[in-house]
Amino acid sequence: MTCGENHESLILAIEAVAAAGDNKLTARLTDYLMGEVDGIPKELVAKSIKLPNEMQSSLMIIHSYLIVKSLLRRNETLRAARMLTRVMGNISRFPAHVVPILTSTVVVCSKAGLKAAAHRAAVMLMQPEYRQKIDAKYKKKIELFVRRTDKVDDVEESRPPCPHCSYPVPETILACDNCKSTIPYCIVTGRHIVDSDFAQCPSCNFPAYYSELKKLLALNEMCPMCSSPLNDTIPGDASAYLNSSKSNHEQMPMKSS
């Protein structure tokens, strides 16, 4: 499949993987996009052509959704809540999973102290097309959230420096207001990358915080993007990666809730 040939089919494949919510399918799709399944690099990669925006955006939002489970397993509740909030802002990508995703958002965001985000998700769930599909176990809690009238603001995110210009950017925002650059995301946490703690998966080359990859290695976990071992992970050069991304696979920002 070439760049111009069947672009719509690639988008459809990515959307189907999003609906399935299956890590193995995501890894296989990533392999395909990078030319690892049939041994033939896709034309986009071989010719250093930037991936279409829709494709990058879809892959990003799928990945943000899929890493929630692993974040919760490692007791990183706030980070999981941030990812669910990101997914909530793109809920139309998951038409078959709207109710469970929004329900998880209410529960996890509430636990993480993101009451405003939990309230937004609860209000969405009260729409007629979703209300009757809510699990009875959570329905009362969700209804209570909707009835709350007290105004609450969620705790602000930390603001690590933009790897392009060092301007402080909220950690889950993937575009810099100062230099207007897109910032790639860490495949372990979904946060934007920083130049002081950078590495790439030795197999799929997607970026991450070096410290986060080492944490996964210590837990005997695999790359969350391609499911490959992380034994050969070493600190990387964020500037070199960013320069390469500008002409190749630059990751695209996604809509926030």
How many structural domains is the chain composed of?
Answer: 2
List alpha helices for the chain, DSSP H: 7-20, 23-33, 43-46, 53-73, 77-88, 98-112, 115-125, 128-131, 136-147, 210-218, 238-247
DSSP 209-226: EHHHHHHHHHTTPPPTTT
Q: Which of 147, 179, 202 is the last residue of a domain?
A: 147
- Torsion sign (Cα): 160, 84, 255, 227: positive
Co-location of 136 and 47 in the same domain? yes
Give pLDDT, residue 255.
44
Task: Check whether residue 15 and residue 120 sit in a common domain.
Answer: yes
With beta carbons less than 8 A apart as the criterion, state whether 76 and 110 touch: no
Indicate if 129 and 184 belong to the same structural domain: no
The per-residue pLDDT for 253 is: 44
Q: Do 131 and 166 sit in the same domain of this protein?
A: no
| pLDDT tens digit sequence for 126-169 | 999 999 999 999 998 898 888 876 777 888 999 999 999 999 99
Question: Do residues 91 and 110 both lie within one domain?
Answer: yes
- Residue numbers of the domain that contains 190: 157-257
Output the tens digit of pLDDT for each of the chain's 257 residues. 444 444 455 556 655 665 565 666 666 665 555 445 444 334 444 444 456 667 778 788 888 988 999 999 999 999 999 999 999 999 988 888 899 999 999 999 999 999 999 999 999 999 999 999 999 999 988 988 888 767 778 889 999 999 999 999 999 999 999 999 999 999 999 999 999 999 999 988 899 999 999 999 999 999 998 888 999 999 999 999 998 876 554 444 444 44
**Of the residues 147, 170, 191, the one at which a domain ends:** 147
The reply to whether the predicted model has a pTM over 0.85 is no
Which pLDDT value is given to residue 41? Answer: 38
Could you tell me if 95 and 118 lie in one domain?
yes
Domain-located, residue 71: yes
From 114, 147, 180, the end of a domain falls on 147
